[in-house]
Amino acid sequence: MSFNFDERVERYHTDSEKWLKYRDQDIIPLWVADTDFRVAPSIQQALQARVAHGVFGYAHDQGALANVTADWVSKQYHWTIDPDWVVPLSGIKPFFSLLQQCLLSTEQRSICHTPIYPPFTQSAISSGREQRHIPYPIFDQTNLLHSPLPALSHQDRLFLLCNPHNPGGRSHRRQELEQLAAYATEYNLWVCSDETHADLLLEPGLSHTPFAALSTECEQRSITLLSAAKAFNLAGLGCAVAIIPNLELRTTLRQAIALRMPVPNCLGVTATLAAWREGADWLNAQRDYLRANRDHLAAHLTTLPALRLITPEAGFLAWMDVSALGKSDPHKWFEHHGLGFTDGAPYGDPQAMRFNFGCSRTLLDLALSRLTQAVNAA
């Protein structure tokens, strides 16, 4: 079956955060992390059948999500899990604050690399916990642990890992994860690994390794976060999972989640089940399309040496260093030239932009021609 990712799906008349931000301006929305692609037909059919039923009470999937998650991680990452380890979530972002409040006393800290997807750092602030930042060598991605990991104290208790990395798009190699595992053992850290972009690995020959899958010891100190939201474009449907092998930790977190987070959206559960049961062909086709978009973007940027691009190994987000343009507010400057990127400032680098290329090739080409005009006029 073939799928049409070239179709321009008009999104202004829906509630699209991405498109409505620039509704009355000639600015191409290339920011928040959803794609412009219509979902897989199997997902749309499952949702239509669920909507036709017409009753939308609290969802309890009776273990379906756990079983489907176990099948998915086994097929995709060769990781065998017990479905009992799976805890459904209504989203990943709110879980970060909850996790830090549950696992850390007010004197204890979490640790993460920066630049990073902002909720990693914002959640520490909102949960009233300290955080230690390790500079991530985003423009020298030969090794996650290229910059040495600092010595820690007994206050450092929780490592927040993003794999594949957002915004760098690197898929961390087994050897790097093994070094991180040794570090976690040395300092007895919990490791929360956000692997929500794992199904969008674009680089031929690479495969995703969940941190937890390294060893039983890693499983026992880990929380793995997954969802179909990025890979299947379901971000508005509120459904994700945490895989928590350690029974005591799982019991604590399950109770906190039940009290403090909404249950997953019933349509999100339906869509996630359809994605992980029947969406693999669509996902493969989408990966081919995104890989071609990524390569097209990277080839174009070789003509613009003022911009330094990281070609992502995974996902549909590309990180660009634009400091050579010498703009005090590059995000505004690009908007003025009709390009609505994600501002790098909340990620930890105000001279970087994040370019969402999860769009039709036609729109990408329009964005690239505006980019050339802007940079040449700088």
In the set 59, 86, 229, 273, which binds ligand PLP (CB under 6 A)?
229
In the set 42, 100, 171, 196, which binds ligand PLP (CB under 6 A)?
196
The residue among 194 and 321 lying less far from ligand PLP, judged by its C-beta, is 194
Tell me the window of 90-98, 203-211, 279-287, 297-305 that interacts with ligand PLP (CB under 6 A).
90-98
Residue nearest to ligand PLP (CB): 93
Minimum distance of ligand PLP from residue 238's CB (angstroms): 7
CA geometry: angle at 312 spanning 308 and 317, to 5°? 90
In the set 22, 67, 83, 93, which binds ligand PLP (CB under 6 A)?
93
Span 151-170, contacts to ligand PLP by CB under 6 A? 162, 166
Minimum distance of ligand PLP from residue 153's CB (angstroms): 27
Minimum distance of ligand PLP from residue 229's CB (angstroms): 5
Closest CA to 153 of 115, 186, 114, 113: 186
The residue among 194 and 349 lying less far from ligand PLP, judged by its C-beta, is 194
Tell me the window of 71-79, 141-149, 168-176, 194-202 that interacts with ligand PLP (CB under 6 A).
194-202
Span 294-313, contacts to ligand PLP by CB under 6 A? none
In the set 240, 304, 307, 339, which binds ligand PLP (CB under 6 A)?
240
Asked if residue 356 lies in contact with residue 317, where contact means CB atoms within 8 angstroms, the answer is yes
Distances (CA, A) of 89 to 278, 304, 337: 21, 42, 39
CB atoms within 10 A of CB 125: 11
The residue among 162 and 304 lying less far from ligand PLP, judged by its C-beta, is 162
Span 26-65, contacts to ligand PLP by CB under 6 A? 33
Q: Is 194 in the site for ligand PLP (CB under 6 A)?
A: yes
In the set 46, 81, 92, 320, which binds ligand PLP (CB under 6 A)?
92
Asked if residue 255 lies in contact with residue 296, where contact means CB atoms within 8 angstroms, the answer is no
The residue among 294 and 300 lying less far from ligand PLP, judged by its C-beta, is 294
Tell me the window of 43-51, 177-185, 189-197, 255-263 that interacts with ligand PLP (CB under 6 A).
189-197
Asked if residue 161 lies in contact with residue 221, where contact means CB atoms within 8 angstroms, the answer is no
Tell me the window of 42-50, 91-99, 287-295, 368-376 that interacts with ligand PLP (CB under 6 A).
91-99
Q: Is 199 in the site for ligand PLP (CB under 6 A)?
A: no
Tell me the window of 23-31, 87-95, 198-206, 369-377 that interacts with ligand PLP (CB under 6 A).
87-95
**Binding-residue pattern over the window 111 to 150 for ligand PLP, x denoting contact by CB under 6 A:** ------x---------------------------------
Minimum distance of ligand PLP from residue 195's CB (angstroms): 8
> What is the Cα–Cα distance from 231 to 275, expressed in whole angstroms?
9
Q: Is 343 in the site for ligand PLP (CB under 6 A)?
A: no
Tell me the window of 51-59, 86-94, 179-187, 284-292 that interacts with ligand PLP (CB under 6 A).
86-94
CA geometry: angle at 259 spanning 256 and 262, to 5°? 110
CA 88 to chain centre: 17
Residues within the interface to ligand PLP (CB under 6 A): 33, 91-93, 117, 162, 166, 194, 196-197, 227, 229, 235, 240
